[in-house]
């Protein structure tokens, strides 16, 4: 009898093991290991000169480091990298303190300083990629661009960065086709001929460099572009960005009424978002995804994604940026960086687990589709990522209109489905709104729904009603139900995560089985409410910019209803007693993004993050900036200046005299990627320059009309990661006269 029980127990364990194995989704492969090719590197650097292709009003440098496989085959793919905005001179080692910009204008650093090799901060990625057979070129933009004053129609020098990328691509094209490679590479003048395949090019950018490579992509595709003649046949097949900016293009005077933004339509694209970013604090790099998601103009299967890394700061993805942008105020209590050290090996590991995976899946001659799984929420992340930190993913396998069926984009009035039907809500409050409703310049028309509840149970639900009463639509040929979600900054989110169910309703009114959100993702995330810290969450709900993530549920997980007559999608708040979430973009997808036929029987692997995360670290709060008080800051001068003090626009060369406002602080204004902004009341000004290389003074430039229209009693502040307070303009005017 005892043997029988042992045998029965063993059979049950085997059955459960086999069933569990059959129920889990596949796991994305790990791309951190080095490849089979030995790696060589070299550098080319030309004397600074004015180059009309890049910036016509100041000297810039053609400077880059190159990595390649020593046994490189002919026609290998190429990846071009571009760093972000950072100081150009620094002193000390590990950490090196980068707090001077003399090199930007003069090409020299002060005594005791060294030139910051900003472009070498991605050597760890470049070496990995070269070992897998890629040519990698990492560009330096120190001279004339980093820390430099912008122009009227390019205040952050994003366009200049894009043109710099294209200039390097043009030179590489020449060297690869007719020869003339720089001797400093050690390959000989003909050493690059035939080595690079310009139909398989990828772009990588960090911070303003991320937006810069996106600009390069768009400039090349512009129908009036001369770059298509200079680099014929160029195909940019993928763009990977880290913590990128999304600053409007063109003249800031036009931003409020007609902002122009750039996206990555027509190519694979991913943005890594550091969720403890104290530089680009509003995570604006997510906004191209939001714009592209509602643009169904693409006609081929090209994925777009966000890769959201908890506990990561902005700077430490670049190993040469050796001072953290985020100190102890980092809201995520489980950081993967130490602000007192000079680097984060963990952040490098996360980058190695995603950057090579992205390019290996889109540029290789025989693309390995498995690496695409790193960005698809249907697949489990590699263990090396899961064991490091929580990473959320926002994802769409294709923007083809024929591949998805929109259930609700929340683009009509509250309570009305995108189909025009009335949605249902019971014991739930819901409000439709724009994603970036609080921002002065709206960067996206993306709509979301804010959903709140105060009681849990089967009668607490929101249903997106897709069809007329007793009618439904056929989704039997679709693969997944996809929707996007984020937590609201609300005192209703008492628990460390939100749990609820999802069901489908068919035309007869029958509900499917209820699947738990907990089987597909962990819904934690930004909230300022912490009962243990005495925080009441008193900030306005939705006051921060929500970072969404995608939930993908295989249709085979919904049973017991007629999938040829689906009437609606119901979110049943039957587990967590109260909560506040954002929902967006409910849709059915035919493409599961797995490079295989739709598999409606695949079951997502139950997330283990909740068990891995201690309750004390499972909550991520809203980032709040450091305030530099008024007594540490001063307005040094406000004066008229001739028109040559304001850099002329390429399209508006005639500029009248301007007003220069010079600000100083005991706390330096560091060179960062977010655009420094002068706030006077509700008005904002972004054209500025550093007034001294030590970064203790900045000058902002206003037109006479803008200055005379100011409310002189308004508070003045400067935002640049931190917030510097300067009091009111009227207080300064009482003591000084405008000279």
Please compute Rg for the chain using Cα positions.
27
pLDDT at 121: 98
Whether residue 602 has pLDDT greater than 50 = no
Copy the structure tokens of residue 237: 């097949």
pLDDT at 527: 54
3-state secondary structure of 114: strand
- Residue 522 to residue 168: CA distance in whole angstroms: 43
Work out the angle at residue 138's Cα, subtended by the Cα atoms of residues 134 and 144, and round it to the nearest 5 degrees: 160
Whether residue 570 has pLDDT greater than 80 = yes
More confident residue, 61 or 254: 61
Copy the structure tokens of residue 412: 């009509």
Residue 634: count of CB within 10 angstroms of its CB? 16
- Residue 412 to residue 432: CA distance in whole angstroms: 8
Task: Give tens-digit pLDDT for 542-566.
Answer: 345 689 999 999 999 999 999 999 9
- Residue 278 to residue 516: CA distance in whole angstroms: 34
Residue-wise DSSP of 650-704: SS------EEEEEEEESS-----SSPPEEEETTEEE--EEESSTTSSEEEEEEEH
- Residue 250 to residue 159: CA distance in whole angstroms: 9
242 - beta bridge partners?
206, 272
> What letter does residue 605 receive in the DSSP assignment?
P
Confidence of residue 442 (pLDDT cuts 50, 70, 90): confident
Residue 4: count of CB within 10 angstroms of its CB? 8
Cis status, amide bond into 95, omega within 30 of 0:
yes
Confidence of residue 329 (pLDDT cuts 50, 70, 90): low
Packing angle, helices 345-352 and 355-362, rounded to 10? 10
Q: Which domains does the chain have, with CATH numbers?
A: 39-396 (3.40.50.1820), 405-620 (2.60.120.430), 627-735 (2.60.40)
More confident residue, 544 or 445: 445
pLDDT at 735: 82
Whether residue 207 has pLDDT greater than 50 = yes
pLDDT at 526: 60
pLDDT at 365: 74
User: For the chain, what is the mean pLDDT?
Assistant: 88
Q: Given CA atoms 115, 116, 117, 123 in this order, what sign does their dihedral have? A: positive
More confident residue, 515 or 720: 515
Alpha-carbon distance values, 248 to 158, 213, 304, 629 (Å): 9, 15, 21, 30
pLDDT at 327: 61
- DSSP E strands, 252-386: 268-274, 304-309
Packing angle, helices 345-352 and 123-131, rounded to 10? 30
Whether residue 353 has pLDDT greater than 90 = yes
203 - beta bridge partners?
80, 239
Cβ proximity of 205 and 145 under 8 Å: no
pLDDT at 605: 42
- Residue 337 to residue 314: CA distance in whole angstroms: 10
3-state secondary structure of 558: coil
304-313, 341-350, 541-550, 638-647, range with the lowest pLDDT: 638-647
pLDDT at 372: 94
Whether residue 140 has pLDDT greater than 60 = yes
- Residue 687 to residue 685: CA distance in whole angstroms: 6
More confident residue, 648 or 91: 91
Whether residue 734 has pLDDT greater than 70 = yes
- Residue 81 to residue 266: CA distance in whole angstroms: 20
> What letter does residue 598 receive in the DSSP assignment?
-
More confident residue, 645 or 251: 251
More confident residue, 431 or 532: 431
More confident residue, 624 or 223: 223
Q: Which residues contact 368 (CB under 8 A, 6 or more apart)?
A: 29, 360, 361
Whether residue 262 has pLDDT greater than 60 = yes
Cβ proximity of 132 and 42 under 8 Å: no
Whether residue 238 has pLDDT greater than 70 = yes
User: Phi then psi for 21, rounded to 5 degrees?
Assistant: -65, -40
pLDDT at 9: 42
pLDDT at 595: 65
Task: Give tens-digit pLDDT for 696-725.
Answer: 999 999 999 999 899 989 999 999 888 999
pLDDT at 620: 52
Half-sphere exposure of 574 (CA within 13 A, CB side): 15
Nearest to 95 by CA among 313, 322, 315: 322
pLDDT at 671: 94
Whether residue 600 has pLDDT greater than 50 = no
638-647, 695-704, 726-735 — most confident range: 695-704
- Residue 141 to residue 457: CA distance in whole angstroms: 57
pLDDT at 623: 65
- Residue 220 to residue 204: CA distance in whole angstroms: 16
Q: Are strands 76-82 and 196-206 parallel, antiparallel or unpaired?
A: parallel
Whether residue 654 has pLDDT greater than 70 = no
Whether residue 345 has pLDDT greater than 80 = yes
Residue 737: count of CB within 10 angstroms of its CB? 6
User: Phi then psi for 233, rounded to 5 degrees?
Assistant: 80, 5
Task: Give tens-digit pLDDT for 412-430.
Answer: 999 999 999 999 999 999 9
User: Residue with structure tokens 């290991």?
Assistant: 33
412-416, 491-495, 603-607, 653-657, range with the lowest pLDDT: 603-607
User: Phi then psi for 205, rounded to 5 degrees?
Assistant: -145, 145
Work out the angle at residue 669's Cα, subtended by the Cα atoms of residues 666 and 675, and round it to the nearest 5 degrees: 155
What is the pLDDT averaged over residues 656-670?
Answer: 92
Confidence of residue 331 (pLDDT cuts 50, 70, 90): low
Q: Where are the alpha helices (DSSP H) in 336-397?
A: 345-352, 355-362, 383-386
Whether residue 16 has pLDDT greater than 80 = no
Question: Dmax of the chain from CA atoms?
Answer: 102
pLDDT at 320: 98
Percentage above 70 pLDDT, the chain: 86
User: Residue with structure tokens 């294709």?
Assistant: 398
Packing angle, helices 208-221 and 158-177, rounded to 10? 60
Task: Give tens-digit pLDDT for 80-137.
Answer: 999 999 999 999 999 999 999 999 999 999 999 999 999 999 999 999 999 999 999 9
Task: Give tens-digit pLDDT for 22-32.
Answer: 344 589 999 99
Residue-wise DSSP of 211-250: HHHHHHHHHHHSTT-SHHHHSTT--EEEEEEES---PPBS
User: Phi then psi for 69, rounded to 5 degrees?
Assistant: -75, 130
Copy the structure tokens of residue 188: 């000989």
pLDDT at 368: 72
Residue 470: count of CB within 10 angstroms of its CB? 11
3-state secondary structure of 185: helix
User: Phi then psi for 631, rounded to 5 degrees?
Assistant: -70, -10
């Amino acid at each position: 009898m005892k043997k029988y029980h042992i045998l029965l127990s063993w059979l049950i364990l085997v059955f459960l093991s086999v069933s569990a194995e059959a129920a889990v989704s596949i796991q994305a492969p790990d791309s951190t290991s080095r490849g089979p090719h030995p790696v060589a590197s070299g550098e080319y650097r030309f004397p600074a000169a004015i180059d009309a292709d890049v910036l016509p009003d100041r000297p810039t440098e053609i400077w880059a480091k190159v990595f390649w496989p020593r046994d490189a085959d002919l026609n290998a793919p190429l990846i071009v990298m571009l760093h972000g905005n950072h100081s150009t001179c620094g002193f000390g080692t590990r950490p090196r303190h980068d707090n001077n910009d003399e090199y930007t204008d003069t090409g020299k650093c002060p005594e005791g300083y060294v030139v910051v090799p900003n472009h070498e901060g991605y050597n760890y990625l470049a070496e990995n990629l070269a070992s897998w057979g890629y040519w990698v070129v990492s560009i330096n933009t120190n001279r004339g661009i980093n820390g430099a004053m912008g122009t009227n129609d390019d205040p952050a020098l994003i366009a200049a960065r894009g043109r710099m990328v294209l200039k390097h691509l043009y030179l590489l094209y020449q060297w690869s086709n007719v020869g003339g490679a720089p001797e400093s590479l050690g390959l000989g003048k003909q050493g690059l001929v035939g080595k690079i395949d310009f139909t398989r090019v990828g772009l990588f950018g960090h911070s303003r460099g991320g937006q810069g490579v996106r600009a390069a992509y768009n400039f090349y595709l512009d129908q009036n572009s001369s770059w298509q003649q200079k680099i014929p046949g160029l195909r940019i097949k993928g763009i990977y960005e880290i913590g990128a900016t999304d600053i409007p293009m063109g003249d800031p005077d036009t931003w409020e009424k007609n902002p122009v933004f750039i996206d990555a339509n027509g190519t694979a694209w991913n943005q890594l978002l550091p969720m403890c970013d104290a530089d680009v604090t509003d995570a604006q790099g997510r906004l191209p995804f939001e714009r592209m998601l509602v643009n169904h103009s693409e006609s081929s299967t090209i994925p777009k994604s966000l890769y959201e890394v908890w506990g990561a700061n902005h700077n430490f993805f670049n190993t040469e940026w050796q001072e953290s942008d985020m100190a102890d105020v980092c809201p995520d209590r489980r950081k993967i960086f130490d602000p007192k050290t000079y680097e984060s090996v963990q952040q490098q590991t996360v980058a190695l687990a995603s950057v090579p995976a992205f390019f290996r899946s889109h540029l290789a001659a025989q693309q390995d589709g498995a690496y695409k799984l790193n960005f698809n929420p249907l697949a489990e992340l590699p263990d090396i990522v899961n064991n490091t930190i929580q990473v959320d993913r926002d994802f769409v396998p294709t923007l083809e209109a024929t591949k998805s069926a929109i259930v609700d984009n929340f683009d009509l009035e509250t309570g009305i489905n995108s189909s025009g039907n009335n949605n249902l809500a019971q014991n739930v409050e819901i409000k439709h709104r724009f994603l970036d409703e609080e921002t002065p310049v709206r960067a996206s028309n993306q709509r979301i729904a804010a959903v709140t509840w105060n009681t849990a149970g089967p009668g607490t639900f929101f249903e997106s009603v897709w069809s007329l009463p007793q009618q439904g639509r056929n989704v039997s040929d679709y693969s997944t139900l996809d929707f996007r979600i984020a937590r609201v900054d609300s005192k209703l989110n008492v628990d460390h995560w939100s749990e609820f169910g999802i069901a489908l309703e068919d035309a007869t009114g029958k509900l499917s089985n209820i699947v738990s959100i907990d089987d597909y993702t962990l819904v934690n995330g930004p909230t300022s409410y912490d009962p243990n810290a005495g925080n009441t969450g008193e900030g306005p709900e939705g006051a921060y910019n929500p970072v969404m993530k995608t939930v993908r549920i295989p249709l085979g997980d919904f049973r017991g209803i007629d999938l040829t007559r689906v009437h609606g999608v119901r979110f049943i708040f039957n587990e967590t007693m109260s909560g506040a979430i954002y929902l967006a973009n409910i849709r059915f997808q035919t493409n599961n993004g797995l490079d295989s036929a739709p598999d409606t029987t695949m079951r997502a692997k139950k997330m283990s993050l909740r068990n891995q995360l201690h309750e004390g670290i499972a909550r991520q709060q809203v980032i709040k900036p450091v305030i530099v008080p008024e007594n540490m800051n001063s307005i040094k001068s406000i004066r008229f200046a001739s028109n040559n003090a304001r850099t002329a626009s390429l399209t508006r060369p005639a500029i009248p005299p301007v007003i220069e406002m010079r600000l100083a602080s005991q706390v330096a204004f560091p060179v960062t990627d977010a655009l420094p902004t002068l706030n006077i009341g509700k008005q904002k000004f972004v054209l500025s320059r550093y007034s001294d290389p030590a970064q203790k003074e900045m000058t902002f430039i206003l037109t006479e009309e803008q200055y005379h229209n100011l409310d002189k009693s308004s508070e003045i502040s400067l935002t640049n990661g931190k917030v510097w307070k300067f009091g009111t303009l009227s207080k300064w005017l009482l003591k000084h006269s405008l000279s």
